[in-house]
Structure 1
Amino acid sequence: MFYGAVVWDPWLIVSQIVCLQCLFYLTLGLFMFVLVGSRVSRMSLVYFFDFVTLSPSTLTGWCAIVSFFLSSLAGAGFLLHLVERAKKCLDFSATLFIIHLIITIIYGGWPSTVTWWVVNGTCLLLMALLGEWLCIRRELQEIHITRLRSNV
């Protein structure tokens, strides 16, 4: 099959979205555990899904913000390995953060702080653009073809 002549496979797309979402939350949990867990007595889902915790007025809030940025950087690497196409990186990144918005609304209501919107919007752009850049670099690599020459 020619490169780019891909058949639409909804099960593949859904599985990629689920994998990307799970990997994003796993890395977010890891970074939250390291950065925020050292500052608070008890970790909970509040730091993941409550928009109030992303506050630049406290050191714990800054640690949560940095955790989101580091998870977005890792998410770009996940896009490189899961999605593998530069033109799909924005779609998958936007889907990830829309799902995160829905979970945030269910958990703590509509995010009413500007900081939450700026952090998540910047993380979305960071993940999408870095993921696209990484995928483009991979797509532009030379394809080495080894030929067997016959002496005929």
Structure 2
Amino acid sequence: MFYGAAAWDPWLIASQIVCLQCLHYLTLGVLMSIFVGTRVSRMSLMYFFDFSTVTVSTATGWCAIVSFLLTSVIGAVYMLYLIERAKKCFDFSATVYIVHLFLCIMYGGWPSSFIWWIVNIACLALMAFLGEWLCINHEMQEIPITRLRSNA
């Protein structure tokens, strides 16, 4: 959809980053409300950006982890349609999670939880590799060539 003819188009790249980041948080919000929202009395940004909520010691923490992992899988599908190039998938995945790291730092300080780092690195790898795999499969599809037949 956004793939252009120009090799370097900063407006295209910026719009892809903004679209992917917005879709990432929209998807994360929907999944958090499904998984975590049923377990807590009040949803807040804490479940998005506070590293202490990503834990394996509580059921709510496991629900947050599942939400993050499913968001990365769905993000790979978004990259298939927004990025369309396998060689760019890692760059855009890393950008999504670097922006997420900065937002987490601004919200609650440096993430000191080992589980938070494991989950986010796994999500980055999952989104990048699955996005590359989907894009490669899409790029390898045959281009249909229809023959024009005259009705004479």
TM range (shorter): over 0.9
Identify the residue that residue 107 of structure 1 maps to in structure 2: 107
Identify the residue that residue 88 of structure 2 maps to in structure 1: 88
When normalised by structure 1's length, the TM-score is: 0.94
- In the alignment, structure 1 residue 11 sits paired with structure 2 residue 2: no
Identify the residue that residue 129 of structure 2 maps to in structure 1: 129
Distance (whole Å) between structure 2 residues aligned to residue 4 and residue 17 of structure 1? 15
Distance (whole Å) between structure 2 residues aligned to residue 37 and residue 81 of structure 1? 29
Identify the residue that residue 70 of structure 2 maps to in structure 1: 70
Q: Per the alignment, do residues 84 and 119 of structure 1 end up closer, same or farther by CA in structure 2, a change over 3 Å counting?
A: same
Unmatched tracts of structure 1, length 5 or more: none
- Three-state SS of the structure 2 residue aligned to 1:146 is coil
- In the alignment, structure 1 residue 57 sits paired with structure 2 residue 57: yes
- In the alignment, structure 1 residue 146 sits paired with structure 2 residue 146: yes
Superposition deviation, residue 149 in structure 1: 5.5
Kindly report the root-mean-square deviation, in angstroms, between the aligned alpha carbons of the 2 structures.
1.7
- In the alignment, structure 1 residue 27 sits paired with structure 2 residue 18: no
> What is the percent sequence identity of the aligned residues?
70
* 1:55-78 Cα distance to aligned partner (Å, 9 max, x none): 100000000000000000000000
- Three-state SS of the structure 1 residue aligned to 2:44 is coil
Distance (whole Å) between structure 2 residues aligned to residue 49 and residue 92 of structure 1? 20
Distance (whole Å) between structure 2 residues aligned to residue 142 and residue 102 of structure 1? 41
> How many residue pairs get matched?
149
Q: Per the alignment, do residues 103 and 4 of structure 1 end up closer, same or farther by CA in structure 2, a change over 3 Å counting?
A: closer
- Three-state SS of the structure 2 residue aligned to 1:112 is coil
When normalised by structure 2's length, the TM-score is: 0.94
Query: Structure 2 counterpart of 1:45, which letter?
Result: L
Distance (whole Å) between structure 1 residues aligned to residue 70 and residue 103 of structure 2? 20
Superposition deviation, residue 145 in structure 1: 1.0
Query: Structure 2 counterpart of 1:80, which letter?
Result: L
Runs of 4 or more consecutive aligned structure 1 residues displaced over 4 Å after TM superposition = none
Distance (whole Å) between structure 2 residues aligned to residue 21 and residue 5 of structure 1? 23
Distance (whole Å) between structure 1 residues aligned to residue 46 and residue 139 of structure 2? 39
Identify the residue that residue 42 of structure 1 maps to in structure 2: 42
